[in-house]
Structure 1
Amino acid sequence: MSSSNALFTADRTVPALIVKIGNYPLHHGGVGAIRSLGRLGVPMYAITEDRWTPAAHSRYLRHAFAWPTTGREDPDALLDGLLRIGRRIGRPAVLVPTDEEAAVLVAEHQKELDGHFLFPPVAPELPRRLASKRGLHELCVEHGVPSPAAAFPDSYADVEDFARHARFPLVAKNREAFVRRERPAVRGTTRVEGPAHLLALAREWGERPGVILQEYLPREDAEDWIVHAYFDENAAPLALFTGVKVRSWPPHAGMTATAYVVDNPELAQLAEQFVKRIGFSGIVDLDLRFDRRDGQYKLLDFNPRMGAQFRLFENGAGVDVVRAQHLHLTGRAVPEGEQRAGRRYVVENIDLPALLAYRRSGYTTPHAPARPRGTELAWLARDDPRPFFTMLARFVRPGAEHLYQLWRSSRRAIAE
């Protein structure tokens, strides 16, 4: 979408900085944010792994700061690096975190960053708690929001005790998703078929398992939904969108490959009420699973930052969540409008393997429109083609090998 289609003007004197911590160069969300604000004339800057990161080649990017990080650095070192970048930009920039580590860093160091950057005010401890599987589950229980039943074993003995009475199958996930670990307990979401399988896995988790053991929601009885929104300092939604996930990669447990905008007032109200109760301010990306067995939307993930697929959502005035944040933090009104229902989003490099996997599994959602009302591609854009070709050059061999390994691991987890 070009800036001429937006029914508002942005403050072009205030730049924005895409903040990334960790090594994941093929991140289409960062490219989408650069394009979204860049098309409005906002000066765009980004932290990238190196100069061959696709985001670094966007025509809308003024400068890429090559700063390779892992997420295991000392927070003070990360803070110093971010402040150095702020001084190089030379004027306060709106921060747009693309991962939990970056969102937590900004929240926990607001005093040091104030005056150098613009960001929504939030309780310093809240993003870390929301990004934690345990913290999110506790908040859901506290505020009466449905979520899958969960256990948090602190030792192998706890796992043994849990295995005696647990209902299988279940899923195992890393407890602290926002901490990049050299050796995570499990590789993504792992389906566990029975007690013997669970105990075999637990032997590799060490003395203090960093896992959550969670109720399995059968895919034949469930639907995957997403909510993206921007909330102001009073936790009031200035932009809120709902959609349904049609495919993800790895299948049923990973990043969105294809999704549609679908109006869902019940889901929107649930998200709005929960955010109001916890008092969050900023951009959110929520993953929920609708359980047809009990008719409840169960909150799986609360990402306290921009989601990679945020460009799926836009209202009639041309507002997405990143634009809403920039408008609000620069003192401008955020135009209201209905979301563009039926709009489709496709991530080209992962949707083909996802399509093949979903055809094999037979999963479908009744909420996907028969025909999309417009499609947004994650990588390819007529007015900004270089990120797409840079992605292809970087993706083809290692990316194909990585997809193959993910495919094998997902099949093995199911088979076991």
Structure 2
Amino acid sequence: MVLLLDDEVPVLLAKVGRYPQHHGSLGVVRTVGRLKVPVYAIVEDRFTPVALSRHVTRGFVRPTTGAEEPDRLRDALLAIGRTIGRRCVPVPTDDEAAVVLAEHADRLAEWFLLPPVPAGLPRLLAGKATMHRTCTESGVPTPRSLAPADRAEMVDAGRELGYPLVLKNLGPFSRLRTPAVCGTTVVRDERELLARFRTALPPVLMQEYIPRRQAEDWITHLYCGPGGVPRVLFTGLKIRSWPPYAGVTTRAVALRNPELAELADRLCRSIGYSGVADLDWRYDRRDAKYKLVDFNPRTGAQFRLFENVQGVDVVRAMHLDLTGRDIPEGPQAEGRIFVAGQLDLPSVAAWLRTERRLPPDLLHVRPTERAWLSLDDPLPAVSEAIRFTGAVARRLARSKHDRTVP
């Protein structure tokens, strides 16, 4: 079967904040561009990897920080829509963009085809404390979590949850405006916690730590239609990440997990979620439960790990559905391997350092989907290699300077 998308309806890669080296954005561009759908992209500059993709019809240089008022972000999207001149399907690659699209759907509908998600739901799900409360109300397990209001409550929360514990930025915009941590962060004891927040406490979530050797990391990617009914739903196992055990997925495998799929299905129907989503789960062997760690109401960076046997991934499913076409049904393609290029190298090094052996998949399992390398679209990988090398060189230079300053 040849998968056909409506090539009269373009896609807009929608983003808020600065993250030019994002392989998930490139995945969006390629997955619809290869099916002859025009792709427009919001980019930080003309030389980001995405902007250099042969599948991009036009890049709109609109750098943002996330500190802008939502109305200003909405108006920027409307201006892009008017420039494109026809309604298109926006694909958010960050929580902030998903929030803006949902909360301003009435105005944005003039130029954009949007899933009928309840306006406040993406912000609620992207907020760590509100997501925890929503899961509790829906009967879906999550790690124990607390959101302290000040340092005194922070100390009490740490003692209640126990150490080590996990810190996360509390909300979708606070992580850009007043970040508490750079990303998911583990603190080992109360002294380390107090040293991190010496004065005022930024918005932060404190979460129970599930010991690495008692856990497995799983992911669910899905697209839901009206009423939270999943139209495609995929499950997979995260093998490695960077930073280790907490960051971006660097290697994963598509594996059917009926229990996890049922949990995700039940949650989305319960809350009426509509659109693309990326859910992170941790299986806790201590009580044999899958616990939802993050609900990202947007396209996940590793979404290209998953297709059904008809070649449908979550972005293609959304485009088909919003343009009134049938979504070809079929089970997920099992055993697909996704690798995020250079980010997997430090994750392998971390594995080797902690496990004292090479990862078992390293030499024997070839990736099905690479985040960057593509023979039909080589320039993004070249741009990423240059930027990555420059970032490493700058970090090494700073490290050397710090060691030499008296």
TM class by shorter chain equals over 0.9
Q: Residue type matched to 1:82 in 2?
A: L
Among 2, 16, 37, the alignment partner of 1:7 is 2
Contact 2:66 2:177 in 1 (8 A): no
Q: How many correspondences in the alignment?
A: 398
Which residue matches 2:233?
Answer: 240
Contact 1:146 1:298 in 2 (8 A): yes
Among 152, 159, 164, the alignment partner of 2:154 is 159
Which residue matches 2:73?
Answer: 78
Which runs of 5 or more residues in structure 1 are unaligned? 1-5, 407-416
Give 1:8 shift.
2.4
Q: Residue type matched to 1:248 in 2?
A: S
Contact 1:228 1:242 in 2 (8 A): yes
- For each residue in 1:4-51, what CA deviation from the matched residue of structure 2 results, as whole angstroms up to 9, or x when unmatched? xx6321111111100011111001111111111011111111000010
Give 1:186 shift.
2.1
Among 53, 62, 67, the alignment partner of 2:57 is 62
1: CA distance, partners of 2:148 / 2:280:
24
Give 1:229 shift.
0.5
Give 1:276 shift.
0.5
1: CA distance, partners of 2:74 / 2:396:
33
1: CA distance, partners of 2:210 / 2:393:
29
- For each residue in 1:365-401, what CA deviation from the matched residue of structure 2 results, as whole angstroms up to 9, or x when unmatched? x997995475110011111111111111222121455
Give 1:161 shift.
2.8
Which residue matches 2:279?
Answer: 286
2: CA distance, partners of 1:389 / 1:303:
29
Q: Residue type matched to 1:12 in 2?
A: D
Relative to structure 1, the CA distance from residue 367 to residue 243 in structure 2 (aligned partners, 3 Å threshold; closer, same or farther) is farther
Which residue matches 2:347?
Answer: 354
Which residue matches 2:251?
Answer: 258
**RMSD between aligned alpha carbons?**
2.2
Contact 1:101 1:179 in 2 (8 A): no
Which runs of 5 or more residues in structure 2 are unaligned? 400-406
2: CA distance, partners of 1:360 / 1:405:
24
Relative to structure 1, the CA distance from residue 196 to residue 180 in structure 2 (aligned partners, 3 Å threshold; closer, same or farther) is closer
2: CA distance, partners of 1:181 / 1:73:
10
Give 1:402 shift.
5.3
Which residue matches 1:28?
Answer: 23
Q: Residue type matched to 2:44 in 1?
A: E
| TM-score, structure 2 normalization | 0.93
Among 326, 336, 344, the alignment partner of 1:343 is 336
1: CA distance, partners of 2:65 / 2:202:
22
- For each residue in 1:295-319, what CA deviation from the matched residue of structure 2 results, as whole angstroms up to 9, or x when unmatched? 0001000000100110000111010
- For each residue in 1:241-280, what CA deviation from the matched residue of structure 2 results, as whole angstroms up to 9, or x when unmatched? 0001111111111001010001111111110000110100
1: CA distance, partners of 2:345 / 2:396:
11
Written as runs of structure 1 = structure 2, the 5 A alignment for 1:160-179 is: 160-179=155-174
Q: Residue type matched to 1:76 in 2?
A: D
1: CA distance, partners of 2:360 / 2:318:
29
Q: Residue type matched to 2:63 in 1?
A: P
Contact 1:132 1:178 in 2 (8 A): no
2: CA distance, partners of 1:44 / 1:111:
23
Taking every aligned residue pair, what percent have the same amino acid on both sides? 52
Q: Residue type matched to 1:219 in 2?
A: R
2: CA distance, partners of 1:97 / 1:82:
12
Contact 2:121 2:273 in 1 (8 A): yes
1: CA distance, partners of 2:210 / 2:156:
22
Relative to structure 1, the CA distance from residue 54 to residue 202 in structure 2 (aligned partners, 3 Å threshold; closer, same or farther) is same
SS at 2:118 equivalent: coil
2: CA distance, partners of 1:163 / 1:267:
29
Q: Residue type matched to 1:148 in 2?
A: P
Q: Residue type matched to 1:254 in 2?
A: G
Relative to structure 1, the CA distance from residue 195 to residue 14 in structure 2 (aligned partners, 3 Å threshold; closer, same or farther) is same
Q: Residue type matched to 2:332 in 1?
A: Q
Among 100, 121, 129, the alignment partner of 2:95 is 100
Among 119, 138, 146, the alignment partner of 1:143 is 138
Which residue matches 1:219?
Answer: 212
Contact 1:260 1:342 in 2 (8 A): yes
Contact 2:178 2:203 in 1 (8 A): no
2: CA distance, partners of 1:261 / 1:369:
17
Relative to structure 1, the CA distance from residue 243 to residue 403 in structure 2 (aligned partners, 3 Å threshold; closer, same or farther) is farther
2: CA distance, partners of 1:178 / 1:276:
26
Q: Residue type matched to 1:139 in 2?
A: T
Contact 2:91 2:299 in 1 (8 A): yes
Matched, 1:333 2:348: no
Which residue matches 1:193?
Answer: 188
SS at 2:228 equivalent: coil
Among 109, 126, 132, the alignment partner of 1:131 is 126
Give 1:151 shift.
1.3
Give 1:81 shift.
0.8
Give 1:361 shift.
2.0
